[in-house]
Structure 1
Amino acid sequence: MSGKKPCTPPESERISNGTRRDFIKKSSLITAVALAPGTVVKAAENQWDERVAGVFEKISLHVDVNGVKHNLLVEPRVTLLDLLREELGLTGTKKGCDRGQCGACTVHVNGVRVNSCLSLAVTNDGKKITTIEGLANGEDLHPMQEAFIKHDGFQCGYCTSGQIMSAVALIKEGHANSELEIREFMSGNICRCGAYPNIVNAIQEVKNGGQPS
């Protein structure tokens, strides 16, 4: 016996190695879930639920949506759009490009319009969210909704909820003073049917207090 102590790595290195091993395990599980065919995942979901939940720890979220308070547990990766549609059943907010380019998913967060597909749900803790379902007052439509109907501001209707939400915010922002200004500040909302002139007319009428421009 030489009397030498066993060669062991420093505490910091042991912690680092453990962290790396945990990261590799979690990364491998995430990759397996992402690449597995839907039928395989479905068949094995009962066995994988606990393992997947361990990877994606859920976070407490408190939001006020259309005047209704919700106390939820959500995964950090869930977008506000998916929370509204999949968890709360508010499907009026549409998933278009899912990249913040079309505006179909526009909602109001504390009165400011945002693309909900680009906003993580957990970043909205404690905030007030308004969707297209929250604009009307019971059976009475919001003036912007009425104006869109009157001026045929939609065709297929897929982009309409986002268009209306942006239009309401546009007037509140003070950016509806001319046709050119309206077109500029509504440019983030795409209508593939090309109903832009009618959308502008609807916004101008609401801006003028219900009087045609």
Structure 2
Amino acid sequence: MKFRIIPVTPFQQNCTLLWCEKTREAAVVDPGGDIDKILAAIEEEGVNLTRILLTHGHLDHVGGTAELMQRKGVPVEGPERNDQFWIDALTQQCAMFGFGQVESFDPDRWLEEGDQVQVGDETLDVLHCPGHTPGHVVFFHKGEQLALVGDVLFQGSIGRTDFPRGDHDQLIRSIREKLFPLGDEVRFIPGHGPMSTFGAERLSNPFVADRRG
């Protein structure tokens, strides 16, 4: 599996284009906006978009979903159903953050812990990792040892939990009990900022390093 990170929106959110090298089928993870930029990347890589994957319902991660659905005619998978209230409130989110209005949408498939999603011949495992939002999911590709973690974990930091239905203790559990057991060597693409590994964060992340107990 190959990937390309595409920073989008004024928040510079990491939208990710994933594709299967054999079939050239692709998925876009968290199309927060700047759809023309995303479509240009798809064309440059010569891949065929077959689905949209969402980690959670915040505007900077889902704001371009409806437009991309309409322009490419592809289904949406994710997040977990507990984030429906965030998607239903896209109008309010746009007003809150000073964004132009975007269309709401209904995912074709809500995801749950233990589900899998297909991108061509490649399989991504779904982990439900609440805390930043109640319905946040993470996508993990075992063969590439790669995780797309949205706003759960960052290089040197963790997701905010001061939004409605955020839960700091739950977020810490999600990281330590769901993500870190995948292995120190696993690379992860966060929702914002540079990539890192779970091992590096266990060593030095001030919020979840092993030394914090």
What TM-score do you get using the length of structure 2 for normalisation? 0.29
Q: Which structure is larger by alpha-carbon Rg, 1 or 2?
A: 1
